[in-house]
Amino acid sequence: MASHGVRPDILARWKEHHLAPLWLSPTAHKPPPPPQQPHLWEWAKTRPLLEHAFSETSPNVVERRVLQYLTPYARSEHEEYTVGAMLCAVQCLLPGEAARPHRHSMGAVRFVLEGSGATTLVNGKQCPMEYGDLILTPAWCWHEHRHDGEAPVLWLDALDVPLHAYLGTAQFQPPPVTNLPETAADAVFATANFLPAETSFTTNYSPVFRYSYADATQALAAAPRAADGSRAIRYTNPITGAQAQPLLDCTMLAIEAGAATTQRRSNASVACVVVAGEGTSTIGGKTIAWREKDFFTIPQGNFASHAAMSKEAHIFMLSDRDVMRRLGVLSEETA
Ligand code: GTQ
Ligand code: FE2
Tens digits of per-residue pLDDT, 232-273?
Answer: 999 999 888 899 999 999 999 999 998 899 999 999 999 999
Q: Which atom from ligand 1 is nearest to the alpha carbon of 102?
A: 2
Phi, psi of 327 (to 5 degrees): -85, -5
> Which pLDDT score is estimated for 1?
45
In whole angstroms, give the CA distance from residue 189 to residue 168. 32
The structural domains of the chain, ordered by start, are: 40-334 (2.60.120.10)
First vs last C-alpha separation in the chain: 42
Q: Is 66 in the pocket of ligand 1 (CB under 6 A)?
A: yes
Contact 37, 299 (CB under 8 A): yes
Q: Which atom from ligand 1 is nearest to the alpha carbon of 137?
A: 2
In whole angstroms, give the CA distance from residue 129 to residue 287. 32
Instruction: Say what the alpha-carbon torsion angle 104, 105, 107, 108 is, to the nearest 10 degrees.
Output: -20
Q: Which atom from ligand 1 is nearest to the alpha carbon of 87?
A: 3
How far does the centroid of ligand 2 lie from the alpha carbon of residue 143, in Å?
Answer: 6
The residue ranges of the chain whose pLDDT is under 50 are 1
Beta strands in the chain (DSSP E): 40-41, 66-69, 87-93, 98-104, 108-114, 118-122, 125-129, 134-137, 143-147, 153-159, 172-173, 210-211, 231-234, 249-255, 264-266, 270-283, 286-290, 295-298, 304-319, 332-334
Closest ligand (CA of 154): 1
**pTM: predicted TM-score of the whole model, two decimal places:** 0.94
Q: Is 139 in the pocket of ligand 1 (CB under 6 A)?
A: no
Q: Is 103 in the pocket of ligand 1 (CB under 6 A)?
A: no
Q: Which helix (H) or strand (E) holds 106?
A: none
Length of the chain in terms of residues written? 335
Query: Residue 102 carries which DSSP code?
Result: E
